[in-house]
Amino acid sequence: DADVTQTPRNRITKTGKRIMLECSQTKGHDRMYWYRQDPGLGLRLIYYSFDVKDINKGEISDGYSVSRQAQAKFSLSLESAIPNQTALYFCATSDLSRTEWYEQYFGPGTRLTVT
Amino acid sequence: AQKITQTQPGMFVQEKEAVTLDCTYDTSDPSYGLFWYKQPSSGEMIFLIYQGSYDQQNATEGRYSLNFQKARKSANLVISASQLGDSAMYFCAMREWSDDKVIFGPGTSLSVIP
């Protein structure tokens, strides 16, 4: 089983709808991240969380919100989806307490299309 | 300000040849890490190699090596003996110790020609 899972893997939704993307991890890491990927722009950080009570905005948090329900779960919500939020979304985890502090483990991605 | 620059949107390399993918970065934090990730057409992000700012030697992982030039703030990825399976997007990224965020560059698309 994958260490970092994302649901759904693909989603098509209409403008104005609320949508939630979910991320779960079995690695026991304390840090979790949400990125979006657009062609030519690489991955941009939306939100990140150091633990359940510590959530921080990334470079492009406008239009998004997050919830860290437990150490293993980090959800990304689009309260009112708009077409320019069409992108590939990645969840990632890392753990500074381990020797490999530098490595992030990525989920498989969620492809979101807003029509 | 752009912290990670990858100036090559796309590159071609002949199979079995070596290729260098460029990456320059900008930081004032003395403690940081530099990474390269590979993203094949299937979409997953695959960690390739890491270089710490205090590491004295260039990092190597199999056919991948990182040419770290700290004074120039560059961290180029060298792939030796290219294979068809190396065709993918490659992202350079940086993590500053003080910030704990990982910032990615825009990526370079590598195509390996048989």
Q: Would you give the DSSP letter of residue B85?
A: G
Q: A51 falls in which pLDDT band (50, 70, 90)?
A: confident
Which of A44, A101, A106 lies at the smallest CB-CB distance from B45? A106
Q: For position B98, what pLDDT does the model report? A: 79
Say how far apart CA A2 and CA A6 lie, in whole Å: 10
Which of B6, B9, B102 lies at the smallest CB-CB distance from A104? B102
CB A106 within 8 A of CB A5: no
Highest mean pLDDT among A49-63, A96-110, B61-75: B61-75
Residue B56 has pLDDT above 60, yes or no: yes
pLDDT digits (tens, 9 = 90+) for B62-102: 999 999 999 999 999 999 999 999 999 999 999 887 777 78
**Closest residue by Cα to residue B77 from B17, B12, B18, B22:** B22
What is the average pLDDT value for chain B, to the nearest integer? 93
Q: Would you give the DSSP letter of residue A66?
A: E
* One-letter amino acid of B46: I
CB A12 within 8 A of CB A110: no
B47 vs A contacts (CB less than 8 Å)? 103-105
**N- to C-terminal Cα distance for chain B?**
39
Pick the residue from chain A with its C-alpha nearest to B49: A103
Which of the residue ranges A52-56, B17-21, B71-75, B108-112 would you say has the lowest mean pLDDT? A52-56
**Closest residue by Cα to residue A47 from A36, A98, A28, A82:** A36
